[in-house]
Structure 1
């Protein structure tokens, strides 16, 4: 049976509805669980300076009781938070969902404070002795070692409590403003003499339209809409970056970047090796952009040409076609992966329809152990199918974390992209195998377009955010300054691959990733994920059976070791430029093939 209306996700297995007695009871139980956890922390005297730093029976018993209950509450709150966010993200005008989200933010302040207390307490203990005496401690060894380091970057208890309470009306509120405002923007666009208002997510989807005039008009309408909305977004950007700068200094991090490297379980040497390899690849990506321009009959691509379709698809990629293809191709890797994808489609875990009030882009969020919800704004194209496969990869990662505790499952952003890139590569290679030359051109272009975004554009976003943090130490930045900093970052990275007079000055307003105090530099982990995922796929191609035996275990361990240690299991040295160059060599091969097909076309 063909799906003509794109599906919405089914939230009823969690609670019947947001206004149901069952949800209200679950919501109250969640808040009560946090307060009970506060009392448990107080009972066991979990403070900055423990009553006794000696690892005796009492300390061991306290640790195990705290960890067991803390894990349970984290899982409970994750379900509630994801459930509420699903309603907000698909309709930001849902006042009940917004109200519940605000209540949840207030309640989780206490949970954040408990996390800080636990880190400080663990930092004061002899964790080696604790692990000798407790199996629970040995199971959470990575957490304990991380806590030891993080405890050295805590403010006083009173300052940490104040920071978490003020964040509700500070960084969190500014981030929510960005989400609410941008999801409700309606953009007037005139096509064929008729003016109609579209939600921003649909306007941005016009970037994939085959007619250049339509793309140009949508791009100009989009920029005009961002200009009209720029004032509050600039205020949000300035406020969030200032808050992050202040807290980084108070916590004795050299910079906000250093704190994110720690949170992402990598070091500066790894980042520098990856970014150096990325910069060296820019001339190759410019070759790709220039070849695409020639295919489109242009001297140079404008920003609105980046996503223009080239080649021809022999299939429309309806949603149902995409679902069938993904399930089938995942089966070539393993029945477990295929069965997982089939379940996600069958049980309506995916919200695919673009509509007013819905946030743009795509994501996957775990809602219960092994169960996820996927947001997409599906377009009937190869790209739409590939995005679904990518997000299902995240869901498969969650499935493999099912038997881990909440603390063991806390995966850094760098490793969170591992399964998604792997799954995306599976469907890409399968689609290429069965394609004629025109379709090969289309698939390669879609893949290269994504790689270009993740390597070239991500670098531009990284440079932009680095610049904002540095300049924000002195004063606020105006809209014009933010625009110019964005343009300069794009000029440095895209170079002569794009028309410098037709870039995107408001990309800082588009990307919600900038509007988070919890994880600044929400950009380079995507590059890490792409190139690490490609490196793993190369390992899979060399020795499929050996790779399969270790892959699911790798996914289940992403919160239990740093990235370098996990990579070493597959013989990968992520601190070496050679590894990142080898992954980028796979992209270069695609660029070479794209150029060849473009010449023939």
Structure 2
């Protein structure tokens, strides 16, 4: 992080912080000077074009600098939620972030009054932001009044954002008692959850039981958080005249209901295939049926140990099989220490990649020395490569939807998985295929359960608050509907609603189906690459750089893909079905 500022307490950081605050205040003054949002429609003439271009240039610069500062601070918080200096700086920044959100709303309302087609025809800058302008004009139709939007943004700091922050702080600092090697230890929840990958079933079972006990202990404030956030989202969606929170989510995701329905229908049709995989895994483990704590249990034996250095070398090498540019990017990320790898107390669970500035990213992981740890790194580096291709675009052009955010990550993960399979003996192939199928099962089957759960929460929360027991039952019902009876029904995970931070976001409801979209879209693109590598390479980087400049269907059409057709999604799932068949054959000997 010292590439940006020496530390959170340095003079350079203080200066950068003050500059961002000033830039936001200056932007507010500029909007006031031009009476943006204070009057009716403006005629598109030379004067208005000059105002528009000045505002967009300034707004892009402010977003860039604010994102860098915010990401810089957040990297300290997510790697150590007990960093009180970072927490204080983020709290101080919130006031300016609220103002920036309010200014964005004012600009959205103003653009909604303009003849954007006339503006695009007369301004080069407007034409370069054509997609943003058309989408913003649609969004303007769903705004509350300026005062109401300002109030919602200001209150969000102590409502939705505060509940979300509580979830992050509480779960990252949650310590769980577990006996390990004959000694009771207090371990972070992230370490406990990593024990689900242990080869010893008794260790997995005890970790699962300890985890559930930990979530039960923390359930009261987490249920309050979830109830509050979902109610806030529902109220705002209704006030903004969205048909439902899902309708607002689809708009943000740049897809339509027909696309979502086609994908979910194809996913449901694949459940019997995934159940075959779960049955096969149970046979390998010598079980009649898997318990929840067996879902990610390792299968097969492998002499290959993926230490961090091994993962780095393999990723850099295999990315080079696609292109030198991709390989050099990965080498740079490792060399410049963009990755915080190991799990530890106070660190957020899971993995993510954050865009820091232009072509630089930072990656958080909880690396485990196994194939999954390596493939997760490749996945997150794919996000970083995506950010690198977006670097040439303005901040507004880089505002891509979640559905397309997984495009490069899935592609890069598939590159290393396929390469590892080619080099592996039979036992290693079983290990690699099983871990790949674990991931696919999570993203297709488990994501479907999370989607059903969130639908149920929104439907019931519109009537009243849900109790912990009701949240548990909604989650269990969703798991039963998707996994079927191929999991031990008495050993599911009722507290999965407490685990996943994705539920605790006011800005990203239904933060689940985009992952399924990303997997299946990424697999479809990889299949295209296999059919015609050179043609694919000529268009792929440009596709990545354009993901904030067109909707998903338009971008997919560049590769002859029809997202509204179940056939495309079924074709992507056929790749997974092929892996299931290969896995069944390998374990049969």
TM-score by length of 1: 0.97
- Corresponding position: 1:65 with 2:49: no
Q: Quote the Cα distance in structure 2 between the aligned partners of 1:279 and 1:48.
A: 49
Paired residues of 1:400 and 1:552 also in contact (CA < 8 A): yes
1:29 aligns with 2:19: yes
State the shift of 1:49 in Å. Answer: 3.6
Local SS of the residue matching 2:6: coil
Take 2:218 and 2:303, find their aligned partners in 1: how far apart are those partners? 40
1:459 equivalent in alignment to 2:434: no
Query: Which string of whole-angstrom CA distances, capped at 9 and with x for unpartnered residues, describes residues 418-471 of structure 1?
Result: 000000000000000000011000000000000000000000000000100010
**2:574 maps to which of 551, 564, 585:** 585
3-state SS of paired residue (2:354): strand
2:112 paired with 1:123: yes
1:398 corresponds, among 375, 379, 387, to: 387
Partner of 1:420: 409
2:43 is equivalent to residue 45 of structure 1: no
Structure 2 equivalent of residue 364 of structure 1: 353
CA distance in 2, matches of 1:113, 1:398: 26
For the residues of structure 2 that align with 1:305 and 1:95, how far apart are their CA atoms?
Answer: 38
Partner of 1:290: 279
Paired position in structure 1 for 2:227: 238
- Structure 2: stretches of 5+ with no match in the other structure: none
What is the rounded CA distance, in whole Å, between the counterparts of 1:482 and 1:36 in structure 2?
Answer: 45
- Report the CA distance between 1:45 and its aligned residue: 1.6
Q: Distance in 2 between matches of 1:347 and 1:247?
A: 42
Measure the CA separation in 2 of the matches of 1:353 and 1:20.
26
Partner of 1:271: 260
Quote how far apart the aligned CAs of 1:599 are: 1.3
Deviation, structure 1 residue 246: 0.2
2:495 to 495, 506, 511: 506
Alpha-carbon distance in structure 2 between the residues aligned to 1:550 and 1:192: 53
* Residue in structure 1 matched with residue 89 of structure 2 by the alignment: 100
Q: Which string of whole-angstrom CA distances, capped at 9 and with x for unpartnered residues, describes residues 516-539 of structure 1? A: 000100000000000000000000
Q: Is the 8 A contact 1:539 1:547 kept in 2?
A: yes
Residue by residue, what CA displacement relative to the aligned partner does 1:256-306 show, whole Å, maximum 9, x if unpaired?
000010000000000000000000000000000010000000010000000
Alpha-carbon distance in structure 1 between the residues aligned to 2:333 and 2:478: 39
The C-alpha deviation readout for 1:221-242, integer Å capped at 9, x for no partner, is: 0000000000000000000000
Instruction: Report the equivalent of 1:373.
Output: 362
Structure 1 gap ranges (5+): 1-10
Determine if contact 1:48/1:157 at 8 Å carries over to the other structure.
Answer: no
Q: Distance in 2 between matches of 1:77 and 1:479?
A: 38
2:583 maps to which of 569, 594, 600: 594
Q: Distance in 2 between matches of 1:325 and 1:543?
A: 24
Does 196-205 or 185-194 show the bigger shift? Answer: 185-194
The corresponding residue for 1:6 is: none
- What is the aligned partner in structure 2 of residue 140 from structure 1? 129
> How far is 1:312 from its partner?
2.0
In 1, Cα distance between equivalents of 2:442 and 2:93: 34
Counterparts of 2:12 and 2:581, CA distance in 1: 57
Give the alignment partner of residue 206 of structure 1, picking from 185, 195, 216.
195
Match of 1:16 in 2: 6
CA apart distance, 1:496: 1.9
Alpha-carbon shift at residue 132 of structure 1 (Å): 1.0
Cα distance, 1:48 vs. partner?
5.7
Q: 1:350: which partner in 2?
A: 339
Distance 1:503 1:259 in 2: 31
SS at match of 1:153: coil
Offset of 1:315 from its aligned partner?
1.4
Match of 1:303 among 270, 273, 292: 292
Q: Which runs of 4+ in 1 moved over 3 A?
A: none
CA distance in 2, matches of 1:247, 1:233: 21
Q: Give the SS at the match of 1:558.
A: coil
2:69: which partner in 1? 80
| Alignment check: 8 A CA contact 1:49 1:124 kept | no
Counterparts of 2:179 and 2:303, CA distance in 1: 30
Distance in 2 (CA, whole Å) between partners of 1:353 and 1:429 is 25
Q: What displacement does 1:314 show?
A: 2.8
User: What SS does the aligned partner of 2:273 have?
Assistant: helix
Query: Partners of 2:39 and 2:481 in 1: how far apart?
Result: 49
Tell me the CA shift for residue 353 of structure 1. 1.1
2:103 is paired with a residue of what secondary structure? Answer: helix
For residues 140 and 485 of structure 1, what CA distance do their matches in structure 2 show?
A: 42
Q: How much has 1:341 moved relative to structure 2?
A: 0.1
Task: Determine helix, strand or coil for the equivalent of 2:141.
Answer: helix
Q: What is the CA deviation profile of residues 78-98 of structure 1, one whole-angstrom value per residue up to 9, with x for unaligned ones?
A: 000000000000111111100
Residues 1:160 and 2:149 are matched in the alignment: yes
Q: How well do the aligned residues superpose, as a CA RMSD in angstroms?
A: 0.7
The question of whether the paired residues in 2 share the 8 Å contact of 1:322 and 1:385 is answered with yes
Partner of 2:368, secondary structure, is: coil
Secondary structure at the counterpart of residue 484 of structure 1:
helix
